[in-house]
Amino acid sequence: MISTWWEGHGWSAIPQAILPRLGALAVGDDSTPLAAAWLYMDNSVGVAMLEWLVSNPEAPPRQVLRALRAVVDFLKAEAEALDYGVVLATCRQASLSAVLCKEGFQVTDSGVIHHISTRTAA
């Protein structure tokens, strides 16, 4: 389901194998899945990364906004409960950046390009 959301937004699907164990899925009042995100947690310092925020491309925008804010709020609270004092997040959409800013994030950079390297089979 999540892969189809990324593809529905014109993005490549993120391999399930790289998603961390701690994630959140927000559903609407009618149990329709609306948004998801994941939290990577560093094992040496109190820094976490809130990543791969994605929404159901067929859901109503107002419901998606509430759902995105809910997953961000939840994952930030989980990070704090686990003693992570800093949460980083990246995005490339101005609308998602606005959501993150409303949730207490500060813009620190722009024009970033993500890269991934995976182990190749021998």
Q: Is residue 120 part of a domain?
A: no
Asked whether residue 121 is domain-assigned, the answer is no
Please write the tens of the pLDDT for every residue from 68-91.
999 999 999 999 999 999 999 988
pLDDT at position 119 is 65
**pLDDT confidence of 121, banded at 50, 70, 90?**
low
Question: How many domains is the chain partitioned into structurally?
Answer: 1
Confidence of residue 117 (pLDDT cuts 50, 70, 90): confident
Find the angle CA(77)-CA(39)-CA(4) to the nearest 5 degrees. Answer: 120
pLDDT for the residue 113? 78
111 domain-assigned: no
CATH code, 57: 3.40.630.30
Does residue 108 sit within a domain?
A: no
Domain membership of residue 87 as a residue range: 2-102
Does residue 119 lie within any of the structural domains?
no
Q: Which of 68, 66, 43, 45 is nearest to 55 (CA)?
A: 68
Summarize pLDDT for 35-76 with one digit per residue, the tens: 999 999 999 999 999 999 999 999 999 999 999 999 999 999
The whole-model pTM stands at: 0.87
